[in-house]
Amino acid sequence: MHDAVEVIVAKRDGAALSDSQIDWVIDAYTRGQVAHEQMSSLAMAILLNGMDRREIARWTAAMIASGERMDFGALSRPTADKHSTGGVGDKITLPLAPLVAACGVAVPQLSGRGLGHTGGTLDKLESIPGWRAGLSNAEMMAQLEDVGAVVCAAGSGLAPADKKLYALRDVTGTVEAIPLIASSIMSKKIAEGTGALVLDVKVGTGAFMKDLDKARELARTMVELGTDAGVRTTALLTDMSVPLGLTAGNAIEVQESVEVLAGGGPADVVELTLALAREMLTGAGVTDVDPADKLADGSAMDAWRRMISAQGGDPDATLPVAQESHVVTAPSDGVLARLDAMAVGLAAWRLGAGRARQEDPVQAGAGVRWHARPGDVVTAGQPLFTLLTDTPERFDRALASLEGGWEVAAPGTEVTPGPLLIDRIA
């Protein structure tokens, strides 16, 4: 039998925790026998001293064992899922899930809500009139069999230990611990029961991971966890120094996603959607379909419409529009040299597109549109940003967060944006 102090002291002194210590502490914490202050002390010891591959795998397995596991074995098609570590303008799940479904692979996408400057997939979809995030397991299975894609909220039964630990890390300065980030993401994804998993690990100013080496370590740790658990897992490291697409918000990102499904949309959103789709299809063993064809022939759009309708949404409904707008114009002729993802994300958040606390409401129509990307030629007086909100008193703080986040260089300046896809880890 173990006790909390013994486990804390072992990790504080740099020892590797035994399997039985890990199993005991996760189970006892989930049941309320280990106090929050004891778990926060252990989380800090893990942040400072790290964990080896065996410890992280066991920690993840113990979190999975705290709840239920889903099983998609009864479906008539293979399953694949994608997880993004979060960024600005990251609406990729919206076109990706129906696209992969149109290629014959079922996508059970359990998604979350936004917190801080990163947008949440469920918040975006909830801007569609009638659409609902909460589905029972039976409804989810039926929709996967019928439509091939579902995007919904995770039930409380999956990895309940993670829910408690996630909230604790948020308020104790231990969010950055790579073993805890990796086990948090992967315990839910493995418990979800998908056959293949593709991780989109963002790196850059607007990402959770600003540093390429740390992002690579996180990606490798998660790929190892998935592989050890029998899930075919790969990771793409993708750039988040510039926001994705031309919108950050809720309804405006849905609109942009529909443009991608209609065969248009911003080039970077299309590029990343196709790259992730190809990874998911390969992981699921489907190699004879090119997802680009399914965007071109309208079948991805058909799958989107069916997916939205199945969850009570009206794919033809007019999306909410913000009541107030404010335009920021280019101060001079030149080239947009820089557009910082974090600055744009903070502006969208302050306009009402995001939340500071889990229980805060969000505005469906709020957000930021940008009318140029780094490398684009701009002329004096041309709109660079349109800020959108229902509450105009928010404009000042949003403008303050954009300040210093963009730069127009002299005409003729060479600006070469870096690659969107940085690395692949398998």
Q: What is the DSSP string of 219-259?
A: HHHHHHHHHHTT-EEEEEEEE-SS-STTEEESHHHHHHHHH
Both 292 and 253 in one domain: the answer is yes
Q: Give the domain CATH number at 388.
A: 3.90.1170.30
Both 290 and 336 in one domain: the answer is no
Token readout for 214 is 């740390």
Does the residue 211 lie in any domain?
Answer: yes
Token readout for 81 is 């899922």
307 vs 80: CA distance, rounded Å: 16
Give the active site residue among 162, 200, 228, 340.
Answer: 162
Q: Are 249 and 209 in contact (CB under 8 A)?
A: no
- Residue 36 appears among annotated catalytic residues: no
Least confident piece of the model among 65-74, 270-279, 362-371: 65-74
Q: Model's pTM, two decimal places?
A: 0.95
Query: What 3-state DSSP class applies to 373?
Result: coil
Give the active site residue among 11, 91, 169, 306.
Answer: 169
Which pLDDT tens digit goes with each residue over 279-302? 999 999 999 999 999 999 999 999
Does the residue 331 lie in any domain?
Answer: yes
- Residue 294 appears among annotated catalytic residues: no
62 vs 229: CA distance, rounded Å: 12
Q: What is the pLDDT of residue 426?
A: 93
33 vs 229: CA distance, rounded Å: 28
Does the residue 72 lie in any domain?
Answer: no
Does the residue 99 lie in any domain?
Answer: yes
Both 218 and 360 in one domain: the answer is no
Give the active site residue among 124, 188, 189, 306.
Answer: 188
The neighbour count for residue 411, using CB atoms within 10 Å, is 12
- Residue 81 appears among annotated catalytic residues: no
| pLDDT value at 115 more than 90 | no
Does the residue 189 lie in any domain?
Answer: yes
Q: Are 353 and 363 in contact (CB under 8 A)?
A: yes
- Residue 187 appears among annotated catalytic residues: no
Token readout for 373 is 């990307």
Give the active site residue among 184, 241, 257, 401.
Answer: 184
Give the count of domains, the chain. Answer: 3
> For residue 238, which of 209, 267, 278 has the smallest C-alpha distance?
209
Both 280 and 336 in one domain: the answer is no
Last residue within a domain, chosen from 310, 342, 359: 310
Report residue 370's pLDDT band, with 50, 70 and 90 as the boundaries.
very high
276 vs 61: CA distance, rounded Å: 26
Torsion sign across C-alpha atoms 373, 377, 379, 380: positive
Which pLDDT tens digit goes with each residue over 133-172? 999 999 999 999 999 999 999 877 888 899 889 888 878 8
Phi-psi region of 214 (alpha: psi -120 to 50; beta: other; left: phi over 0): alpha
Q: What is the mean pLDDT of residues 31-45?
A: 95
Phi-psi region of 189 (alpha: psi -120 to 50; beta: other; left: phi over 0): alpha
Give the active site residue among 83, 163, 216, 306.
Answer: 83
Residues in the chain: 426
Contacts of residue 424, Cβ cutoff 8 Å, sequence gap at least 6: 234, 235, 236, 237
Does the residue 369 lie in any domain?
Answer: yes
Does the residue 169 lie in any domain?
Answer: no
Both 120 and 255 in one domain: the answer is yes
Both 339 and 289 in one domain: the answer is no
Does the residue 119 lie in any domain?
Answer: yes
Both 301 and 331 in one domain: the answer is no
Domain that holds residue 403: 324-409
Which pLDDT tens digit goes with each residue over 197-237? 999 999 999 998 999 999 999 999 999 999 999 999 999 99
